[in-house]
Amino acid sequence: MARTAGSHGPKTMEAIRKAALTLIYRKGYEAITLRQLADAVGIQPGSLYNHVRNKQDILFDLVHDHMTTLLAEVEQAVPAEAPPLVQLEAFIAFHVGYHITRREQVFIANSELRSLEPGNHAAVVALRKRYEGVLIDVLRRGAADGSLRADDPTIAAYAILSMLTGICSWYQPSGRKSADQLVNLHRDLILRGIVVQDPASLAC
């Protein structure tokens, strides 16, 4: 591959991140080398050290960026002053939409969490707990005002998140259901089981 122009600039760092995302997604963190990454970007292996200290830094950068983006966007997607049911619907739509458009980032953040060194692992887990806390808080307030059935909001939140995130393992853009249809399907499945109201009113 031809050498990347401007190998000391932000363009090269972005190229490193994109190449690392693809390589880790396809091969796994342990299987890739810095030489493979440098070849994918089109720079000399030694030039990588102008941008990163080691392979661990690259993984942490990818996962940390994913989690901070996820948190920032969910805060925009879920209206702060809305009733719990409205917030739950917004959370479902956001989570499904985000996860089917960023499948590589989501896969790496989940499957390679084990590959993070202790300090990096702790930082990412703290961010994950903050994200989970958004849904737990919605369910807790819904249980309190009687609009949602969630005797244990934490367990309910983990069950919902497992179901929603599972879409990454089978979703295909060319499949028979559109992204909007899948959002509605997941919304229906969850709300019919948790909302305290007439199920007929939940029809899409």
Ordered structural domains, the chain, with CATH: 10-52 (1.10.10.60), 56-202 (1.10.357.10)
Q: 100, 168 in Cβ contact below 8 A?
A: yes
Closest of 37, 51, 50 to residue 29, by C-alpha: 37
Residue with tokens 């969630």: 150
* Type and span of the H or E element at 132: helix 118-145
Which residues, including other chains, have CB under 8 Å from residue 138's CB and lie 6 or more apart?
Answer: 78, 84, 87, 88, 91
Dmax over Cα atoms in the chain, in whole Å? 64
Share of the chain above pLDDT 90, in %: 59
78 has a pLDDT exceeding 60: yes
- Look up the pTM and report it: 0.82
- Torsion on CA atoms 16, 17, 20, 24, rounded to nearest 10: 180
Cα–Cα distance for residue pair 136/6, rounded to 1 Å: 46
Highest mean pLDDT among 124-133, 144-153, 164-173: 124-133
pLDDT confidence of 173, banded at 50, 70, 90?
Answer: low
Q: Which range (4-18, 22-36, 37-51) has the least confidence?
A: 4-18
CA separation for the pair 59, 64 (Å, rounded): 8
**Residues 94 and 78: beta-carbon distance below 8 Å:** yes
Q: How far apart are CA 42 and CA 36, in angstroms?
A: 10
Helix (H, G, I), strand (E, B) or coil at 13: helix
CA angle in degrees (0–180, nearest 5) for 110-115-119: 100
pLDDT confidence band for 202 (50 / 70 / 90): very low
Whether pLDDT at 12 is above 60: yes
Mean pLDDT of 161-176: 74
185's CB contacts (< 8 A; 6+ apart) are 177
